[in-house]
Amino acid sequence: MEYLDLAPATHASGTVRLPGSKSISNRFLLLAALAEGETAIRDLLLSDDVERMLEALKALGIDWQRGEDNDFIVRGAAGVFQVKQAELFLGNAGTAFRPLTAALALSGGDYRLSGVPRMHERPIGDLVDALRQLGADIRYLGNEGFPPLEIRPAAIRPGGRVTVRGEASSQFLTALLLALPTTGAGATVEVAGELISKPYVEITLNLMARFGVDVERDGWRAFRIPAGARYRSPGTVFVEGDASAASYFLAAGAIAGGPVRVEGVGRDSIQGDVRFAEALAAMGAQVSMGPNWIEARAPAGGRLKAIDLDCNHIPDAAMTLAVAALFAEGTTRLRNIASWRVKETDRLAAMAAELRKLGATVEEGGDFIAVSGRPTFIPGASIDTYDDHRMAMCLSLACLGGVPLRINDPQCVNKTFPDYFERFAGLLAPVIAIDGPSASGKGTVAALVAERLGFHYLDSGALYRLVALAAIRAGVSLEDGESLARIAETLPARFEGGRILLGGTDATEAIRSEECSAGSSKVAAFPAVRGALLGRQRAYRQAPGLVAEGRDMGSVVFRDAALKVFLTATPEARAERRHKQLISKGMSVSIGTLLQDLRERDARDSARAVAPLQKCADAELLDTTAMTVEEAVSWVIERARQGLPQAAAP
Ligand code: DC
pLDDT tens column, 446-496? 999 999 999 999 999 999 999 999 999 999 999 999 999 999 999 999 888
Is residue 552 lining ligand 1, measured as CB closer than 6 Å?
Answer: yes
Q: CB–CB of 214/196 below 8 Å?
A: no
Is residue 602 lining ligand 1, measured as CB closer than 6 Å?
Answer: no
Q: Are residues 262 and 215 in the same domain?
A: no
Show which of 223, 238, 253 is a domain's final residue. 238
Q: Which domain holds residue 247?
A: 3-18+241-419
Is residue 561 pLDDT above 90, yes or no? no
Q: Are residues 466 and 383 in the same domain?
A: no
pLDDT tens digits, 588-622: 789 999 999 899 888 888 887 877 888 888 899 99
Backbone angles phi and psi of 56, in degrees to 5: -60, -45
Q: CA dist 157 to 110, 137, 150, Å? A: 18, 12, 20
Show which of 181, 204, 238 is a domain's final residue. 238
Prior bond of 158 cis (ω within 30°): no
What element of type H or E holds 285? Answer: none
Q: CB–CB of 625/439 below 8 Å?
A: no
Distance from C-alpha of 570 to C-alpha of 635, rounded to nearest angstrom: 18
Q: What is the CATH number of the domain that holds 301?
A: 3.65.10.10
Whether 316 sits among the annotated catalytic residues: the reply is: yes
Q: Are residues 80 and 229 in the same domain?
A: yes
Mean pLDDT of the chain, nearest integer: 93
- In 3D space, the residue among 317, 387, 389, 394 whose CA is nearest the CA of residue 355 turns out to be 394
Q: What pLDDT, on a 0 to 100 scale, did the predictor assign at position 644?
A: 56
Q: Are residues 115 and 132 in the same domain?
A: yes
Q: Are residues 469 and 563 in the same domain?
A: no
Query: Which atom in ligand 1 lies closest to the alpha carbon of residue 524?
Result: 15
Is 89 within a domain?
A: yes
Query: Which atom in ligand 1 lies closest to the alpha carbon of residue 443?
Result: 1
pLDDT tens digits, 569-585: 999 999 998 899 888 88
- In 3D space, the residue among 294, 309, 395 whose CA is nearest the CA of residue 3 turns out to be 395
Backbone angles phi and psi of 5, in degrees to 5: -100, 125
How far from chain centre, in Å, is Cα 350? Answer: 23
Ramachandran area for residue 620 (φ above 0: left; ψ -120 to 50: alpha; else beta): beta
Is residue 601 lining ligand 1, measured as CB closer than 6 Å?
Answer: yes
pLDDT tens digits, 338-352: 999 999 999 999 999
Distance from C-alpha of 170 to C-alpha of 194, rounded to nearest angstrom: 10
Q: Are residues 100 and 151 in the same domain?
A: yes
Show which of 213, 238, 263 is a domain's final residue. 238
Return the bridge partners of 279, or none.
Answer: none
Q: Are strands 72-75 and 63-66 parallel, antiparallel or unpaired?
A: antiparallel
Distance 460 CA to ligand 1 centre (A): 7
Distance from C-alpha of 542 to C-alpha of 426, rounded to nearest angstrom: 9
Name the 3-class secondary structure at 382: coil
Is 111 within a domain?
A: yes
Q: Are residues 510 and 580 in the same domain?
A: no
What is the number of structural domains in the chain? 4
Q: What is the CATH number of the domain that holds 575?
A: 3.40.50.300
How far from chain centre, in Å, is Cα 593? Answer: 47
Distance from C-alpha of 368 to C-alpha of 355, rounded to nearest angstrom: 14
Is 424 within a domain?
A: no
Integer-rounded Cα radius of gyration of the chain: 28
Q: Which of 112-126, 379-393, 444-458, 602-616 has the lowest mean pLDDT?
A: 602-616
Backbone angles phi and psi of 608, in degrees to 5: -65, 155
Q: Are residues 223 and 167 in the same domain?
A: yes
Backbone angles phi and psi of 242, in degrees to 5: -85, 115
Q: What pLDDT, on a 0 to 100 scale, did the predictor assign at position 90?
A: 98
Residues in the chain: 650
Return the bridge partners of 475, or none.
Answer: none
How far from chain centre, in Å, is Cα 649? Answer: 25
Helices (H) and strands (E) in the chain — how many of each? 20, 32
Q: Are residues 188 and 287 in the same domain?
A: no
Instruction: Read off the pLDDT of each residue in 317-335 and give the average, rounded to a whole number.
Output: 97
At residue 36, what is the residue type?
Answer: E
Q: Are strands 110-114 and 85-89 parallel, antiparallel or unpaired?
A: parallel
- Percent of the chain's residues with pLDDT above 90: 81
Query: Which atom in ligand 1 lies closest to the alpha carbon of residue 517?
Result: 6
Q: Which of 49, 273, 316, 560 is catalytic?
A: 316
Encode 502-542 in three state secondary structure: ECCEECCCHHHCHHHHHHHHHHCCCHHHHHHHHHHHHCCCC
Is 116 within a domain?
A: yes
Identify the band that residue 141 occupies on the pLDDT scale cut at 50, 70 and 90: very high
At residue 47, what is the residue type?
Answer: S
CB-CB neighbours of 22 under 10 Å? 27
Is 650 within a domain?
A: yes
Q: Which of 132-141, 219-228, 421-430, 474-483 has the lowest mean pLDDT?
A: 421-430
Is residue 619 lining ligand 1, measured as CB closer than 6 Å?
Answer: no
What element of type H or E holds 365? Answer: none
Q: What pLDDT, on a 0 to 100 scale, did the predictor assign at position 377?
A: 76
Query: Which atom in ligand 1 lies closest to the alpha carbon of residue 601?
Result: 10
Distance from C-alpha of 230 to C-alpha of 183, rounded to nearest angstrom: 8
HSE on the CB side for 303, CA within 13 Å?
A: 11
- In 3D space, the residue among 241, 240, 237, 239 whose CA is nearest the CA of residue 15 turns out to be 241
Name the 3-class secondary structure at 160: coil
Q: Are strands 304-305 and 286-289 parallel, antiparallel or unpaired?
A: unpaired
User: What b/e readout covers 331-353, taking b as 16+ CB neighbours within 10 angstroms?
Assistant: bbbbbbbbbbeebbbbbbebbbe
Is residue 648 pLDDT above 60, yes or no? no
Q: Are residues 212 and 254 in the same domain?
A: no
- In 3D space, the residue among 43, 162, 53, 159 whose CA is nearest the CA of residue 104 turns out to be 53
Distance 461 CA to ligand 1 centre (A): 4
- In 3D space, the residue among 298, 291, 305 whose CA is nearest the CA of residue 333 turns out to be 305
Identify the band that residue 643 occupies on the pLDDT scale cut at 50, 70 and 90: low
Is 14 within a domain?
A: yes
Is 55 within a domain?
A: yes
Which residues 6+ apart lie within 8 Å of 581 measured at CB?
A: none
Complete DSSP assignment for 207-236? HHHHTT-PPEEETTTEEEEPTT---B--SE
Distance 517 CA to ligand 1 centre (A): 8
Is residue 530 lining ligand 1, measured as CB closer than 6 Å?
Answer: no
Q: Are residues 580 and 437 in the same domain?
A: yes
Which DSSP category does 61 fall into?
Answer: T
Q: Are residues 450 and 399 in the same domain?
A: no
Q: CB–CB of 112/146 below 8 Å?
A: no
Q: Which of 113-117, 252-256, 561-565 has the lowest mean pLDDT?
A: 561-565
Name the 3-class secondary structure at 351: helix
Instruction: Read off the pLDDT of each residue in 178-190 and give the average, rounded to a whole number.
Output: 95
Distance 505 CA to ligand 1 centre (A): 22
Distance 552 CA to ligand 1 centre (A): 9
Is residue 375 lining ligand 1, measured as CB closer than 6 Å?
Answer: no
